[in-house]
Structure 1
Amino acid sequence: MALRLPDLGFGPDGALRRELGGHTAVITIDGTAARLSFEQDGRELRSVPAAVRRDHKDAVKELRDLVKRVGAQLATLVRALEGGFPAGARHAFGWWRDRLVRHPVAGPTVRGLIWEVETAPGAWTAVLPAIGDLPDAPDDAAVRLWHPIGARGGDVRAWRDALVERGVRQPFKQAFREIYRLTPAEEEARTHSTRFAAHLVHYRRLFALFRARGWTSRLLGPWDGGAQDEAARVLAGEWRIRFAHVLAEVGPDDLAGTDRIRFDRRVAGAWRAAPLAEVPPVVFSEAMRDVDLFVSVTSIAADPDWTDDGPALAYWERARFGELDESARTRRDALARVLPRTKIADRCTLDGRFLVVRGELRTYKIHLGSANVLMEPDGAYLCVVSERRPAGRVFVPFEEERLSLILSKAFLLAADEKITDPSIRTQIERGAR
């Protein structure tokens, strides 16, 4: 149902126009959002004209309500498309072409994704409608979303390059999507994974993310049976992932400890434990991607203001500049393509786990996982809270808060001589040589 969007009066060019006196109200689709603007004699105005506000108040309200409605429908469409990954959802080529790619509302979102068309039995052709023509195929040919786990490394790199070169921002991570394969340790363990175990996380944030990503979990707390739980999510109808976690500390900042991951398969209507090797690669990858997201977003290692002592502080000290996980490695790959196109390119270098930024006063190392910052030459920690938006117009091929935060800090620190915030300035000057 989410894929069957009405056209809502939008034209083939993806815009809805309404005459209001001597002005034209225009709603356009910009990626996964709608935008309302006003024109006069073909020229876009900076704000709602006074005459329109005065004489067409109800029409303006109706148009603004439509913008919200379109935004909600596009958000639902994106969730539905991304949610079809594990199941390998397929569509008929003719329907997909006419009702999705060419749809005035859904089109901009759908065209920004990479698709595979079965042009011959067992032969799939990948296409990004935003930058290429659709292949010749019968209307009943199968179409599915392309997933990097089934692609060759060279093809993945080529698609990533194409997105950046053509300025295509995808509605969700696809070409830059993290992929997860079985590790030797998981092959040896057979029935469980400890890849994301032994992390300390902000529990309330973790619980909220469970809900947002469609996982089920009981709330932990200082009550009978509230010490531990397994969050679960069903993928592709017949697979279930279970992520164990325990309550580690109760207080103003409730902390949880992460534990093992297991998989079950639905057999004859009942869940049965499944060896990791039997889980389809795309299901395994998507499940582990969720857990990686939970840990990377909620870990106290990413909290720049953490001050509590004890075991939690020891974990924070160890993990805040630790080895990069899959999300951070993907972030590094995106930065390698984006940074050369920015005005601070000559001040930035990617070095292992860090983005190294050369300022006028100091050189800074921004960790690509936690976004925490170290200063050279003494390795001092810099506590800096920056806007999660890089200065200027910087194209990124996907929206991600941590990536935006790293870019924002890089732009700030590349011009450190212009920083006026006394708390940041004092830290920088304290050990500068």
Structure 2
Amino acid sequence: MVARRRWTAGEFRRLFVEHPLIWHVARRLVWLAEDGGEGRADDGAEAVAFRVAEDRTFADAADDEVSLPESARVGIPHPLELGGAVQAWSALFADYLILQPFPQLGREVHTLTEAERAARRLARFEGAALAPGAVFALEQRGWRRGDPMDAGIQHSMYRAVPRGLYVNVHLNPGLDIGMASGQRLEAIWVEDRPETGDGCAREGFRPIGDLDPVTASEVLGELARATS
């Protein structure tokens, strides 16, 4: 969901719907079929949300049957991609007593302010404390440490995100490989390359708003949890 991965209709049926075990997980999620049609760009794709019913057919939030075109690309939508339909889907899943394997419909959503979208640094978390355990939690979410510098200190973490971008964080005083210690988030920015601790300007050439809304929501949520 967070990586925005998509499968062809055939792959979706084979890997999820027809699998004897995985289909029990698949039917507890809302899916999104994007059908751009021949020659159409992804930005012009029509999207239809659906679930996998008990008989392995597909149904929408009104429980009407959905036909899945062979040209469709199927993925797990973030709540931001479902818009106003989140409430309807939540009510339907509650009626059927469907428990989701991970937070999807009830996922917390975070948004950038207009000022943050235009800025080249994310000031919201700058100066916030980061406990040693939070570093490991971020790594489990896909964040990576920068290269060790003098005395083996790692002064940065980064996260690869869609569109070939990286969210970079400069840490102070830096991570000692041999000993965990508390940190402060000194600077946060978006760039076309990862911060490896080599003393770059710590300010992106790109505005924070270059992050798509789903990625921005996830990054903001991860940093909020890490600094809470």
TM class, shorter-length: 0.7 to 0.9
Decide whether the 8 Å contact of 1:112 with 1:130 is kept in 2: no
- 1:128 maps onto 2:128 in alignment: no
Specify the structure having the higher radius of gyration (Cα). 1
Equivalent-residue separation in structure 2 for 1:242 and 1:186 (angstroms):
15
Equivalent-residue separation in structure 1 for 2:131 and 2:36 (angstroms):
50
Q: Label 1:201 to 1:265 Cα distance change in 2 as closer, same or farther (>3 A).
A: closer
Query: How far apart are 1:192 and its partner, in Å?
Result: 1.1
> Aligned match of 2:77 in 146, 151, 156?
146
Query: How far apart are 1:96 and its partner, in Å?
Result: 0.7
Deviations 1:27-78 (A, max 9, x none): xxxxxxxxxxxxxxxxxxxxxxxxxxxxxxxxxxxxxxxxxxxxxxxxxxxx
Please tell me the residue identity of whatever aligns with 2:70.
D
1:208 corresponding residue in structure 2: 136
1:259 corresponding residue in structure 2: 186
Please tell me the residue identity of whatever aligns with 1:295.
T
Equivalent-residue separation in structure 2 for 1:229 and 1:210 (angstroms):
15
- 1:167 maps onto 2:83 in alignment: no
Equivalent-residue separation in structure 2 for 1:237 and 1:185 (angstroms):
22
Please tell me the residue identity of whatever aligns with 2:227.
V
Q: Relative contact order (C-alpha < 8 Å, sep 6+): which is higher?
A: 2
Query: How far apart are 1:281 and its partner, in Å?
Result: 2.0
Q: Percent identity?
A: 24
Query: How far apart are 1:237 and its partner, in Å?
Result: 6.0
Deviations 1:266-316 (A, max 9, x none): 6xxxxx7321122222222222232223223xxxxxxxxxxxxxxxxxxxx
Number of residue equivalences: 200
Q: Label 1:245 to 1:161 Cα distance change in 2 as closer, same or farther (>3 A).
A: farther
Query: How far apart are 1:234 and its partner, in Å?
Result: 0.8
The alignment partner of 2:52 has SS state of coil
- 1:90 maps onto 2:6 in alignment: yes
2:201 corresponding residue in structure 1: none
Equivalent-residue separation in structure 1 for 2:32 and 2:108 (angstroms):
19
> Aligned match of 2:22 in 106, 131, 150?
106
> Aligned match of 2:226 in 294, 297, 313?
294
Q: Label 1:169 to 1:224 Cα distance change in 2 as closer, same or farther (>3 A).
A: same
1:280 corresponding residue in structure 2: 212
Q: Label 1:107 to 1:218 Cα distance change in 2 as closer, same or farther (>3 A).
A: same
Structure 1: 4+ residue segments shifted above 4 A = none
The unaligned stretches of length 5 or more in structure 1 are: 1-81, 267-271, 297-433
Q: Label 1:95 to 1:254 Cα distance change in 2 as closer, same or farther (>3 A).
A: closer
Aligned pairs for 1:7-406 (under 5 A) are 82=1, 85-86=2-3, 88-118=4-34, 121=37, 122-130=45-53, 133-134=57-58, 135-152=66-83, 154-188=84-118, 190-203=119-132, 205-217=133-145, 224=151, 226=153, 229-236=155-162, 238-247=164-173, 254-265=181-192, 273-296=205-228
Decide whether the 8 Å contact of 1:100 with 1:106 is kept in 2: yes
The unaligned stretches of length 5 or more in structure 2 are: 38-44, 59-65, 194-203
Deviations 1:217-275 (A, max 9, x none): 1599xx8473x722101123611111233239x9x993222333211126xxxxx7321
In the superposition, the TM-score normalised over structure 2's length comes to: 0.73
2:42 corresponding residue in structure 1: none
